[in-house]
A and B are shown apart, each in its own frame.
Chain A
Amino acid sequence: MTATADFLPGDPLLHLLRRATYGPTPESTAEIRRLGAPAWLERQLKPAAIADPVADDLVARLPLSRLTIDGVRAKVRSGALKMYGWDTMYELGCATLARSIWSERQLFEVMVDFWSNHLNVTNPSGDVWDSRQDYDRSVIRPYALGRFADLLKASARHPAMLTYLDNRFSSKAAPNENYGRELLELHTVGLGYAESDVKNAARLLTGLTVSWDDGRYRYDAGRHATGAVKVLGFRHTNTSAKGGEAAALALLDHLALHPATARRIATKLCVRFVADDPPPALVTRLAQVYLDNRTAIAPVLRALFGSAEFAASVGAKTRTPLEDIVATVRTLGYAPEKSGTQALKALYWITESAGQAPMAWAPPNGYPDVAAAWASPSGQVVRWNAHLNIAAGWWPSTLQRPASLVTAFAGTVPATYGALIDAVALRLVGRTLAPAHTTAIAAYYGRTPASALKANDAAVGWAFPYLVALLLNSPYFALR
């Protein structure tokens, strides 16, 4: 096996499922075979039309995750929540994980994760205790498959972003440049701006703040610095304090449509969906699609998934820790616990110890999205142990699992160890293994692939979860 693609099934439909969702399940595989790739993608691009009862039920068990800012503050007043508490943010993390695993709107959830990283506001973190869940509800989700310009403007007027990047403290007397800088460097054009651009952007953004009384966004003309500004080709006379908010929004529209932003977002989408080192020609084409469609994201995704470069990229991505844990549960096909959130909490702490709880990255640049950043032995050990713990039902212990894993993954007990390994690999990773790898797994049980398998052997009894874990630990699953 000399290329990463050698480890993966060649089926282009499975390639699309591995990339555009959190991992194939038996159901999603059957669905995409029935619909074909184009119709499947169009369905995923219209998530509102997809019924989502399982995820809806789980999110309903985490009611704090859906609160508005007013809602959180009302619960603080009634004593149900603590001011500066993190309960709401932990519920949001668990709800996000639940949706990643069990939502039918898979591409939408992947894009929610993508934008949550691009416009990162760390969840949980202290200063956004009342606003972080509302940021997810009213900024990220409404625009995740919409226009980037709208998403950017919504983020700029949300207390969570204004708090996280300090713009709420910025004033004409003492502009705080934190948001102005990250807006340019991370949210839009990327490195290449001048310091004067940051200063001008920071001045124009003064006045976008948060009310101390109710925690809501407000524009405070009294804090706005007037006077002409120039930012990366954008000019505004900015003569009135009253007009400061409109001027700031005009800057955001300009930045969203800047060719450097188009290229940056096209690149990041390619890094997420195509390859760690994305094909430059594809990036150039997607940037043009983005600009031609006035920052609408769905046409960019359509062009990306339909491209020859995407088709040729089998094996060019590796699962991040979060993608790995989510795909583990999806691949196993385990259903949520009948009631409560114990398993969701366990899964949340697994992603946390693996280094990638949903949306929890501390710096403003969002989680890294390339394999090299996650290539750590401690992370690998956490993930390998998680595969066994989840598959065996040890931790979490409350997911609904098949009565017999052997029957679910291999059917009737095969005649040899080789046939068993083939059957389970086909079910879990979509292909059989290279002969040397089948031999290595058989050797784990002290046998060869040709050894006869008896119904009372440990490999189809208590030791069967180890076979599942070895496959999930292997490169056949580690790759996306």
Chain B
Amino acid sequence: MSVVEACGCAPVTRRKLLAAGAAGVFAGLVGDQLATQLAFAADSSYAGDVLVLLSLRGGFDGLSAVVPAGDPGYYAARPGIAVPKSQLIGRGTYFGLNPALAPLLPFWKAGTLGAVHAVGQPAPNRSHFSAMEELERAAPGTTLRTGWLDRMTGRLGADHPFDAVSVGSARPARVLAGPAPSLGLTSIDDFKLSGEDPKRPMAATMAALYAGAPDALAQTTAMTTGALATAGQLKAAGYQPADGAAYPDTELGAALRDVARLIKADVGLLSATVDSGDWDMHENLGAAAPGKKMYDHLADLAKALAAFATDLGPAGLGRVTLVTISEFGRRVGQNGSGGLDHGYGNAMLVLGGGVRGGTVHGRWPGLAAAQLVDGDLAVTTDYRAVIGEILRARCGISDVASVFPGVRPSSLGLVSAR
């Protein structure tokens, strides 16, 4: 077994360690100078979209969000919880949106929000835990142990922690596991050293204690002090969302607000990942009305996404593509508790300036008994192919297989080329 295997990652060769050099230069300065003089280490050479990954944890019911109103199988399978046709919004000939998504309707109509249906993993996996693991490793049949966002940002030459950020938790995000630098933040304002004080500069002292140490020790510390300085600058600058964007007072709202803040501050962000939990609705999913579980969850999701899109504005949204994923969809037929058990095929929402939205992409497999996979919506498009199409058209990654081994991008026409 080599070190590479023990680490579960490729050797650290890609890190150009811009920040390491910068912090070395500034190591002798006291903290407040460090904070103001260390410029953002943005990689201005990247001209693609920031890819924002929104993980809907627990198994999102795409059929409740993007409703196949034209398929009689939907209404037959869900006598208590189907969304009536009369309540659907943004209706096309076959699909309509759950009315809880109303805050997103302007973006749907403007074509910056779209959906893909009947997407999922190449094989059914109805265990939350192992399905999430496979979803984020995204390399079935290989021995790769890295996460796909790490491979993507590595492919784009990520060399600074703010190139790839997960917002909401300091824990390393599985999807970012691997050698490319990344940062886990509970929030921008919380990313700080306890006790940091202009009179007693903690970070600058740490930089001095690690200065000149062998690379293995010095490099991470240089990145840490550099990232702390960047966060300190952002914090000092304050943040006011644009155009009256009103983020809901939820974890997702706060996280997307921070992502917008990073995008607008030009810190060099290539990708951000955010979680939204609690979609595992085995009982009492409820009708499409306020106070009901699924409706309220979708409404919170829609408010946060609408605020994010409003805040970015057309210019900002023009260099962002946000995609939702979930470990699996849910069973077509409702269970005895008015809920839905773990299923397979699902819908993805896609938001961004380059999106060809207002419509549902993908091939619909149908909900008749013979068309289901063990009672679940079949998968006609691999989620990796969908993201691959975005990576190729919007992020300048031509060899999608370097991120998703063996996968060819879909040609749904989901996004326009940059």
Interface set of A (CB-CB < 8 Å, partner B): 1-4, 7, 122, 125-127, 185, 190-191, 263-264, 267-268, 271, 276-277, 318, 352-355, 362-363, 365, 368-373, 375-382, 384-385, 388-389, 436-437, 440-441, 443-446, 463, 466, 469-470, 473-475, 478-479
Residues in chain B near residue A437, CB distance under 8 A: 208-209
Q: Quick one: which of A125, A375, A478 contacts B129, CB cutoff 8 A? A: A125
Chain B positions 100 through 134: 1 when the CB is less than 8 Å from some CB of chain A, otherwise 0: 00000000000000000000000000011100110
With contact pairs A372-B7, A475-B217 given, residues A446 and B199 touching in the complex (Cβ less than 8 Å): yes
Taking a contact as CB atoms under 8 Å apart, the answer to whether A376 and B214 are in contact is: no
The residue on A at minimum CB distance from B199 is A446
Residues in chain A near residue B174, CB distance under 8 A: 362
Complex Cα gap A371–B9 (Å): 12
Complex Cα gap A352–B200 (Å): 29
The residue on A at minimum CB distance from B213 is A475
Complex Cα gap A378–B228 (Å): 9
State the Cβ distance, B40 to closest chain A Cβ, in Å.
Answer: 15
Taking a contact as CB atoms under 8 Å apart, the answer to whether B205 and A376 are in contact is: no
With contact pairs A376-B220, A440-B208 given, residues A191 and B5 touching in the complex (Cβ less than 8 Å): yes
Interchain residue pairs with CB less than 8 A apart (19): A2-B212, A2-B214, A4-B216, A7-B213, A126-B127, A263-B1, A267-B1, A271-B6, A318-B217, A353-B170, A354-B170, A362-B129, A369-B6, A372-B216, A377-B220, A446-B199, A470-B206, A474-B210, A475-B217
Residues in chain A near residue B200, CB distance under 8 A: 444-446, 463, 466
**Restricting to B179-221, which residues have a CB under 8 Å from any CB of A?**
179, 181-185, 191-195, 199-202, 205-206, 208-210, 212-214, 216-217, 219-221
Taking a contact as CB atoms under 8 Å apart, the answer to whether B227 and A377 are in contact is: yes
Taking a contact as CB atoms under 8 Å apart, the answer to whether B172 and A376 are in contact is: yes
With contact pairs A122-B129, A446-B199 given, residues A373 and B1 touching in the complex (Cβ less than 8 Å): no
Residues in chain A near residue B226, CB distance under 8 A: 377
Residues in chain A near residue B127, CB distance under 8 A: 126-127
Interface set of B (CB-CB < 8 Å, partner A): 1, 3, 5-9, 11-12, 127-129, 132-133, 137, 143, 145, 161, 169-172, 174, 179, 181-185, 191-195, 199-202, 205-206, 208-210, 212-214, 216-217, 219-221, 223-224, 226-228
Complex Cα gap A367–B278 (Å): 27
The residue on A at minimum CB distance from B183 is A378
Complex Cα gap A322–B221 (Å): 18
Given contacts A190-B1, A375-B220, 12 further A-B contacts (CB under 8 A): A277-B3, A368-B9, A369-B6, A370-B3, A371-B216, A377-B227, A378-B172, A379-B184, A382-B170, A384-B194, A470-B209, A473-B209
Taking a contact as CB atoms under 8 Å apart, the answer to whether B202 and A377 are in contact is: no
Taking a contact as CB atoms under 8 Å apart, the answer to whether B172 and A276 are in contact is: no
State the Cβ distance, B406 to closest chain A Cβ, in Å.
Answer: 16
Residues in chain A near residue B227, CB distance under 8 A: 377
With contact pairs A370-B6, A376-B172, A376-B182 given, residues A385 and B193 touching in the complex (Cβ less than 8 Å): yes
